[in-house]
Structure formats: C-alpha cells, structure tokens
Structure 1
Amino acid sequence: MCKGLFRLCVKISTVALSTALLFAQTSFSAAIIEGERMSPIPGKDGMVVTSHFLATESALDVLKNGGNAIDAAVTAAFSLAVTQPRSGNIGGGGFMLISSEKKDDVVAIDYREKAPGKATVDMFLNKDGEADSEVSRYSHLASGVPGTVAGLAMALEKYGTINLEQAMAPAIKLAEEGFIVTPRFSEGLKEKEKMLKKWESSTKVFYKPDGTFYEPGELFVQPDLAATLKRIAKNGVKEFYEGKTAELLVAEMTKHGGLITMEDMKNYSPRIKTPVHGTYRGYDIYSMSPPSSGGAHVIQILNILEGYPIGEYGHNSAKTIHLMAEAMKRAYSDRSQYLGDDDFVEVPLKGIISKKYADSLRQKIDTEKATASKTIAPDKPQPYESDETTHFSIVDKFGNAVSNTYTINFSYGSGIVVEGAGFLLNNEMDDFSAKPGVPNAYGLLGGEANKVEPNKRMLSSMSPTIVKHEGKNFLVTGSPGGSRIITTTLQVIMNVIDHGLNIQSAVAAPRIHHQWLPDELRVEEGLSPDSVKLLEEMGHQVQQKSAMGAIQSIMVKDGMMYGGADPRRSTALAAGL
C-alpha cells in the first residue's frame, strides 16, 4: 500500500462498472511545494467529489437527470454504503450541511448515533474501574443507535426532488449485481482479517466461502445488504427502525449482550440544527454545531489566526505552521472540557467562537517559541457568552451545496455485521469519555461533558463545512480522519483563502496537526527540511507520520465549479457537468 504524502496513489481515470478496475494510477511529486499547481476538475452545471468513483458516478447521474445536490448526496451516501463498507454505511451516523443560495440559508442535519436507553456511565469500566477499550470498540456494547437512514431520508424529504426508492436504486444495483474489487478494497479486508473473522456474520459477507480473500478484479456481491436496501426503498425509513431490519439488528444485540432495543430504534430521530457561523477575512464559515466539536474549533482556530498576516508568512513556512500549531493546541484543550451533546450539557458555544475570546488566546501565544502543552489548560470562553469516516461534497446548478460527513467510527466500525442484514455495526460508543481524563482511540481527552448517558449523542470531530462569499457558495469541504478532521478542514480553508491555491492544490498540499495532547507536532512528508529544523528550534516536537485525512472539496468561482479529490484515497473521484 502506498504510504506517505508523496507516494500516495492518484486515480486519474475511471470507466464503467464492468471494467471499473482498469483505471490508471500515478504518484504525484512535491511540485506543489515548488509552486506548480495541480489542476482541479472543472464543471459548470454540477460537481460531485466523493471517496469512491462509483458513488461519484451514481450521484453525477442524478444531477444529469435534473436532480438537485440533495438528491445526489443521498444517492452517493447509499452507494458508498455498498462500495466502501469500511466507512460508508447505513449502520452509523453523521452530519450534513445544506446551503441554498436562493434562500440565502444554511441548515444542518444532525443524524449522529445515540446511546441506547440502557447505557450507563460506567458501562466501559472494568472491575478495577479502568476504561476497557476492547468492550467500547469491539463488542456489541460499542454500538450506538444508527442515524444514517433517518438522516438521509429527512434530507431527501425536506430538500430533495426525488423519492427514496429512486435515490437508493444505484446502491441496490451495486449490492445485488456486485462491483469489481479495487486494490484498496482488497487490502482493507486483508488488514482487518483478524477483527472481521472474529464474527461468523462478518466472515460470510467479506470473505469467500473457503475463507480466502477477494482479490482486485473479482466481483463482490452482497445479497443480504441488497435485500435490506430493497426493504427500505419499498417501505421507507420506518422499515429500518421498526420493521424486519430493526428486528434483525435487535436480535443481533440480544444474542451477544448488546443494549439496543426495538424501543431505541423506534425512538431515534435526526434533528435539523443551526450550523455554527463565523467569519474569516471577509468569508462566511458555516460548519457543524454540537455534538460535533469540529465546527466550533475550526472557527475558533481561524479566529485566532486571523490576527496574523498568514499569507505574508507563506504557505507551510515555519512561522505559519508554528502559529497554526499554537492555535490548535488551545482549541483542543478547550474541546476536552466544554464540548458534548448540547441536549445534555451547557456548551459555551458563543464564547468559543467569539472573536474577543480568540483575541485573549492569541495574546498568550509566543510568536517565536512553542508553548509546552502541559502548561496549557482549558481556558474560559464563558465570559464571552452573550471521530474511518468518509466525506463528500456536491454542488448543483440551482445554487445548492451539500457537505456531508458520516461514519461508523473505526475502519469497518466494530467489525460486526448484523446477521441476515448485511451491514456493519458502528462502534461510536467509544467516542464518549469512558472515564474522564483517559484518551480515546484518537488520543483525545474528554471530560464530564461527554460522559456516557442514555439517549445521548457522543461527541464528534466531523466538520462538514461550507464557506460563502457575498452570499454565494464558495467552498464545500470536509474530511475523515478522527481527531485530524478539524485540522485537515482548517488547512484547506486557509490554503484557498490565505495562500490562493486552487482547490486541487489546496487538497493535495502537505498537512500538519497538533491536538494539545500528546505534545507533538505531526507532519506529513513534503515539508521543507529547513522548516522542520526551524520548528524544532522553536521547541516543537516534530513527528513525521502517515498521511492525514481524505478531504473531498469543491470551489465555486466565476460561474465555474472546481472539484478537488484527495489523492490520499486511490478510489476518490471528482467529476463535473
């Protein structure tokens, strides 16, 4: 598998389903660092960017046939549930932002999973009172009540123009007739063999009858998932939450000691929320509100950085990266204490995204020296109070834009397929704070605000974002990547606004990340060795690690739409009309 930023594979052509494997790949060089810009994909009447080319093609067909961005988004989401089961899902949850230029409005749909009604605050603690990650990640107790089907159906009903059966038709076909296995798909199942083969239901779906692997070029068919999708398409969202599919999920729980009941399923509902809103250098930033921490902290970090002439300091210069890291540390510190489900806790949201609060944090930053994380504690935003995931972005000719991020948490979630239903269960319960002060799988600390409680939504870093300029959609973006989602999204916004990069260059550029604890500045390959040396001299503990995120983005400028698919995902595709 390709590793490191400049050895990642880039898909440069796609073909029809029957020959889907026959796409060319090439690796890209560090030309972006030297000033050469990678070209985005243009379009005038519509643009789709997803992490799998079959989902992109399904959604683009919807736009071609006169559907809007919301229709295409729902189609893409269900198609990803079939073609990219490591993250695409009907057994998980997520967030969707929808912008309408005609209505001059941006709305958010929260379809995050919820804790079962029988969940308890200490359910993931062992007999010694310590957090047991095996239980919170790889058991039936790890699953929250899924929200994806309800969320997508709500989006389609309120803002779409086609019905659920039409939106699901491509996914049903892909599940029933199969699709050609890609190298990434095959490699993922080999990497997760031990986890998936622990369960007979998962082994049946993802491996051949003799237990061997599906190899690139072979056909992968999912009859149980096809049957589930058909039931939902025919009978509507109620089927998933009250019909046979719900019964299969609850039977799976009952058999293996899980908590989700028919009552939990029936009572689940997504909700329409007001997105968080901030400004950055004259642009309006809209992102997801709690229980996502992503939107609040993207805006908080931008507010801090707005006080510096970042463009003058240069793209990925030592000074720019230093200031970004210092701002990131302070945001992630606040995240550990204040963020949670705002139905359960008082989140000082207005304070966190306040310009005045950002001013106070900026004053504590030394522009020449790194601040040790151990000396940084959650600050006080209240005075100003007056977590393998996949993302896709879609824009249509009617002035609509959709930014959607959804997940089952880890790659392949809990690894558990619902027997007879063909889909994976999420392990989102691990996103709660099993024990305050103990890091989760992404190294993030949590506190009382994100403790386990019945029917509560767990905190997330997912940050679907739409940037508008003078009332017009300008940038649609978002990423997977656990704790790195926030900083990945942040950097694409800055790459476009501060550094003037086109969208493909902004997406492909090397990334950095700091999340307060552990106290390390994580970087991808491609940064200048001189910059790394300067950062170390400033006191940063620089660690080069594998690529971060997989951000799928669209920029709208001068009547044209430009798509940027992240080359960190070999199956990603941007396509326009």
Structure 2
Amino acid sequence: MKCSSRLAAVVCVFLLFVLPSQSPGQAGWSKSFEHAVVVTAEQRASQAGREILQQGGNAVDAAVAVQFALAVTLPRAGNIGGGGFMVVRLADGTSRALDFREQAPLQADEDMYMRDGKYVPKLSREGALASGVPGVVDGMVKALQEYGNLSLNQVIQPAIELAREGYRLSYRQAKALNDNKKGLKKYEGSAGYFIRQDGTPWQEGDLFRQTDLARTLQRIADRGRAGFYEGKTAELLVDEMEKQGGIISREDLQSYESVWRNPVQASFNGYELNIMPPPSSGSIAIAQILDMLEPYDLKELGFNSAKYVHLITETMRRAFADRAHFLGDPDFVDIPQAELLDPDYNEERMESFSWETASSSDDIGHGDIPFRESTETTHYSIIDEAGNAVAVTTTLNGSFGSMVAVSGAGFLLNNEMDDFTAEPGEPNMFGLIQGKANAIAPEKRMLSSMSPTIVTQNDSVRMVLGAAGGPRIITATLHNFLNMAVFEMDPAEAISVPRFHHQWMPDKLYYEEFGLSPDTRKLLKQKGHTLSASDGLGRVHTIFVDDDGFKLGAPDPRGDGMAAGF
C-alpha cells in the first residue's frame, strides 16, 4: 500500500492539533508481525491476547482472553456485564458470526419507560432498569467450546491476575474514572469500586485493584457459564436488581443463550466483506452504501474533497433512513434483507441524488419495500499464525453503562435498553430515531451499530476491521475500509485521517475538527449541508495483511490502544 504526500500531510496536521497525546512515531502506533497480531483498545489486553497465542492458542482463544482482560482494564466499555458480536473467519474459509448481544428481560414491555403518558429518557440510560440481560460470558464460553484450543481456565488467567494484582492507570483511564464520578457515586457498588475512598481524584500511575471482580472471574474459570448465570454471581446480580429497581431475574439469566448466525457478505473493488448480520445494523448499512457507491470513481473524486464528502454523506443518509425503519432483531421481525441488498434497489435509492444540492433528511425517508410484520464500545482484531481471524465488538452502550456495578461481584451492568425504540420518533442517547421493528419485547435483542468485519481478497484474509462509537461505528468502519481499498493507505494512515459522519437524523454532517479544509466546508455549505464539528468520530483497531503475508496492526491514536504480536 502507498499514500500520497498530501494525505500524509493531512494526517500530520490532524494529529498535531486534535490528537496531541500520541503520534505516528510513538510505540504502539502501527507494527508489522510475521506470525500473529492482536490489536485492542488497551495495551494489557493486547498483551494478554499475545500471551495466549504464544501458549499455543488460536485467534478465538486469544479473543476470549482479550474480552475478559478488557473487563478488568477498560471497565467503561470492556465488560462481562454487557454484550457484543464476534465474526470468525477460519483458515479453511469457514465464516461464522456469534451474536452475544444483550436481551430484554422477561418483564420488559414497550411502555416501560413511560411515566404518566410521557417518555422519560433517563430511565433507559441510567440505573438498573436500563440494563439488558448480559451476554458476554455465554458468548465467550460458546466461542471457546466451538473453536478454541485451550481451556477456559487457561485463557481467563491473565484477566484474573490483572484484577487481583492490579495495574497502573494511564492518563485516559484515570480521567475516565474522574469524569464519571458524579454518576458512579449514586450507586453503592460503583462508588466502592471506581471512586477513591479518600475522595481525591485518580492519578496517572495509581494502582487499580479489583478483588471482587477477580473472584467473579475465578468462578467463571471454575464453572464456565454456570459461574456467571447461576450460583453466587447470579445471586449477587439479582440482589442488585431488586435493590436498584431493575427487572433482570434468575430466569432471565438461566435462559440467556448466544446465537450463531451467517455473516452478511458484500463485494467492493475486488474485496469480499464478511460483516456481522442483524441485530447488527452495520452490515446492511455498509453493504447498501457500497452498493450505492459502485458506479462512482471515488479515487478520481479525491480523498475528503467536497465532491467525495458530499457523495458519501448522501449514501449514509439513505442507508441510515432504511436502518431506522426496517432493522431489528431478526428473531422477532422479518427484515427484508435481500431487497435491501439488491443492487437495483440501491441504485433506485440514489435516483434523487444531485451533485449540486444536499438532500433533506425530511424528504429522504426509507425505501419503498413492503414491511412484513412478524458511545461506550470497544473493538479488537486478531489474526493467528495459521491464518484464523476474529473481529469482536463489545459494549456496555454508554461509558460505564448504566453506572450500576454489582455489589460483591465487581462488574458494571450495561444500559443497552436505550438501544431499543423506547418511544417512536424520540431519539436515543446517540440521537438515533428508530422504528417499530426495534420496539421493546421480552427476550428480544436490541438493534446495534457494532460492525465487526473481516475482509478477504482471493480467499485470503486481508483486513480485520471494526470500531467503537455508537452509530459512528458504521461510518468509521466504512471509512477505514475505503481508505485502504480505494486510496491505498497503509492501516495506520487509514485509521488516523479525519472522518465524517451522517446518520439521517439529526440532519447534520459531523466532521472531525481540522479534518476538512475551509474551502471544502464552504463548498459543502453551499450545497446545503449543515456542518457540525466533532472531537472524535469513532475509534478503529485494524489489521491489514500485506502481499508478503506480514500482519500490520494499527490501534486508533484517539485512544490507548496497542498492537501486540510476534
């Protein structure tokens, strides 16, 4: 891969002004490995994955080790109290997707966040009532049983040691704890685990121990799935629910089950993409956008030129409009997937596109398909020595989830119920407007933007992609792919260059500050776009396999990520 001097200059200027804490010359930026690589949002989690690979584990073993390590070292997003998605692509060509997304509790209903006839957004965003039934532990155990080489006890040991012995906080880790003190102190368990007992702020370099979490992880190591969904941990979780007004029951925990699904496949520019299917909305949206872009010479338009930004924005607008109307849990609603991925349909969606004028989101509704009834996230990418690849995105939803930690167990619970359509026409915490297909129902999985993706070329893995950042996950993953597939950027540059985002509603074109030139912004405004500067549009952790088979790992410089391998 190559990159132009102009693009390199854009990266350097952007990093200088927007990302002062890290630069391309620093350790952890982008590294090439001959055999295997793990890229995560936190260096100790990356090291845990590498350790498991060096012990003879494969990519799935390493992924499970990373997930449990992130529950210790990245409590605002890495977790055992939330859920997520895994896409696996084995060296023999097998591709599968594991859905361990949270579910609505059995007592949930469409009106659970209504009070006196009015929607109360806070109820779905903070506190125990905001939590869905966690799926991480069941998902990790199921993935390991299906494809792992090592025992659960072996892959979970790095996480147990990190929790028991503690680790030194980075600047960002300390800041996250301090910034969320107001919300965390409302809940006894969270205050005890995440706020210093003397009331002083956390500092970079402070030792952070989590002994209750270590005991919880040991119960999982000893008993597998039953170590979380039954016994002591389940008892503590249900007790916390009863104390805080939540509705997750023992029956909810015992009945939860993750699900294997088939990835959504898309083709573009000689690459084949395998993307997490619904209830991930990213797969359908990315595939639709690529379909809409097929007739255009993107390279000729120029990276982040006014024409390029305008075109991509208009495809995003249309895909997100369809997302809002058609997508939900495929076990509950009949998604017209074939129609949405039909090239003729997506060509028709672009008939109203004009090079001169921005569309109005009020005028761009969903497509004409008969509907049949029936912020905080983290992503990691892994390729092992045999060529097996895993992409995992996992989340609590908001930073520190519901803010409720399970007393005695040491972990936070998610606030994923906000990802449902709590009230049609009302935005969720990410500003997304959603439809009836994503309405709350018992045991239903809420729609997600998480988009773990594995890209192949000539039957060989070339990219492992995914991102964090709410609905911006979809567009960040798309940008990352296009930057490498179209503009031939190396992975470090592809994830570092400034991004932009549009999600239909609100009708705004978000861009990273200093990411668009003044002339480009002027031209876009003249076309009718409403621009809004943002301090960050997703965090991407990428692997690219070059023509010689070397594995290039690139963590997003917007965070504390690290590529580790051998």
- Give the alignment's TM-score, normalised by structure 1: 0.93
User: How far apart, CA to CA, are the structure 2 residues paired with 1:5 and 1:439?
Assistant: 32
Paired position in structure 2 for 1:16? none
CA shift in 2, pair 1:27/1:40, >3 Å = closer
| Residue identity opposite 1:168 in structure 2 | I
Paired position in structure 1 for 2:304? 316
| Residue identity opposite 2:234 in structure 1 | A
Q: Deviations over 1:22-74 (max 9, x none)?
A: xxx54469xxxxxxxx9831111001110000001111111122211111111
| Residue identity opposite 1:495 in structure 2 | N
Paired position in structure 2 for 1:15? none
Query: 2:412 pairs with 418, 424, 427, which one?
Result: 424
Query: 2:377 pairs with 371, 389, 403, which one?
Result: 389
The reply to whether residue 442 of structure 1 matches residue 435 of structure 2 is: no
User: How far apart, CA to CA, are the structure 1 residues paired with 2:147 and 2:368?
Assistant: 39
Paired position in structure 1 for 2:275? 287
The reply to whether residue 214 of structure 1 matches residue 196 of structure 2 is: no
| Residue identity opposite 1:522 in structure 2 | Y
User: How far apart, CA to CA, are the structure 2 residues paired with 1:39 and 1:260?
Assistant: 41
SS in structure 2 opposite 1:250?
helix
Offset at residue 124 of structure 1 (A): 0.5
User: How far apart, CA to CA, are the structure 2 residues paired with 1:151 and 1:169?
Assistant: 18
User: How far apart, CA to CA, are the structure 1 residues paired with 2:217 and 2:240?
Assistant: 18
| Residue identity opposite 1:120 in structure 2 | D
User: How far apart, CA to CA, are the structure 1 residues paired with 2:18 and 2:235?
Assistant: 42
Offset at residue 9 of structure 1 (A): 4.4
Paired position in structure 1 for 2:10? none
The reply to whether residue 551 of structure 1 matches residue 551 of structure 2 is: no
Aligned residues: 547
| Residue identity opposite 2:60 in structure 1 | I
Query: 1:327 pairs with 303, 306, 315, which one?
Result: 315
Moved more, 81-90 or 296-305: 296-305
Paired position in structure 1 for 2:8? none
Paired position in structure 2 for 1:22? none
Paired position in structure 2 for 1:76? 66
Paired position in structure 1 for 2:463? 475
SS in structure 2 opposite 1:536?
helix
| Aligned residue runs from structure 1 range 183-198, under 5 A | 183-198=171-186
SS in structure 2 opposite 1:440?
coil
Paired position in structure 2 for 1:126? 115
| Residue identity opposite 1:379 in structure 2 | G
User: How far apart, CA to CA, are the structure 2 residues paired with 1:529 and 1:370?
Assistant: 18
Paired position in structure 2 for 1:350? 338
Paired position in structure 2 for 1:259? 247
The reply to whether residue 408 of structure 1 matches residue 405 of structure 2 is: no
Contact between 1:8 and 1:28, CA under 8 Å: does it hold in 2? no
Paired position in structure 1 for 2:476? 488
Paired position in structure 2 for 1:540? 529
User: How far apart, CA to CA, are the structure 1 residues paired with 2:350 and 2:148?
Assistant: 43
The reply to whether residue 93 of structure 1 matches residue 83 of structure 2 is: yes
Contact between 2:29 and 2:562, CA under 8 Å: does it hold in 1? no
Contact between 2:29 and 2:557, CA under 8 Å: does it hold in 1? no
SS in structure 2 opposite 1:374?
coil
Paired position in structure 1 for 2:324? 336
| Residue identity opposite 1:290 in structure 2 | P
User: How far apart, CA to CA, are the structure 1 residues paired with 2:42 and 2:500?
Assistant: 25
SS in structure 1 opposite 2:389?
strand
- Give the alignment's TM-score, normalised by structure 2: 0.94
Paired position in structure 2 for 1:108? 97
Q: Deviations over 1:327-379 (max 9, x none)?
A: 00001111111010011111111111221211111222112221111111111
User: How far apart, CA to CA, are the structure 2 residues paired with 1:311 and 1:361?
Assistant: 22
Q: What 5-or-longer segments of structure 2 have no aligned partner?
A: 1-13
Contact between 1:56 and 1:573, CA under 8 Å: does it hold in 2? yes
Contact between 2:178 and 2:202, CA under 8 Å: does it hold in 1? no
Offset at residue 404 of structure 1 (A): 0.2
User: How far apart, CA to CA, are the structure 2 residues paired with 1:26 and 1:256?
Assistant: 40
The reply to whether residue 370 of structure 1 matches residue 358 of structure 2 is: yes
CA shift in 2, pair 1:249/1:39, >3 Å = closer
The reply to whether residue 561 of structure 1 matches residue 551 of structure 2 is: yes
SS in structure 2 opposite 1:474?
strand
Contact between 1:253 and 1:260, CA under 8 Å: does it hold in 2? yes
Q: Deviations over 1:391-432 (max 9, x none)?
A: 000001111100000001000001010010000010000111
Contact between 1:5 and 1:546, CA under 8 Å: does it hold in 2? no
Paired position in structure 1 for 2:46? 56
Q: Percent identity?
A: 46
User: How far apart, CA to CA, are the structure 1 residues paired with 2:426 and 2:35?
Assistant: 48
User: How far apart, CA to CA, are the structure 1 residues paired with 2:296 and 2:349?
Assistant: 13
User: How far apart, CA to CA, are the structure 2 residues paired with 1:388 and 1:354?
Assistant: 32
Cα RMSD after superposing both structures: 1.6
User: How far apart, CA to CA, are the structure 2 residues paired with 1:326 and 1:5?
Assistant: 27
Q: What 5-or-longer segments of structure 1 have no aligned partner?
A: 11-24, 30-37
SS in structure 2 opposite 1:391?
strand
Contact between 1:393 and 1:554, CA under 8 Å: does it hold in 2? yes
Offset at residue 449 of structure 1 (A): 0.5
| Residue identity opposite 1:332 in structure 2 | F
SS in structure 1 opposite 2:489?
coil
SS in structure 1 opposite 2:279?
coil
SS in structure 2 opposite 1:505?
helix
Paired position in structure 2 for 1:156? 144
Offset at residue 232 of structure 1 (A): 0.7
User: How far apart, CA to CA, are the structure 2 residues paired with 1:8 and 1:227?
Assistant: 40
Offset at residue 8 of structure 1 (A): 4.6
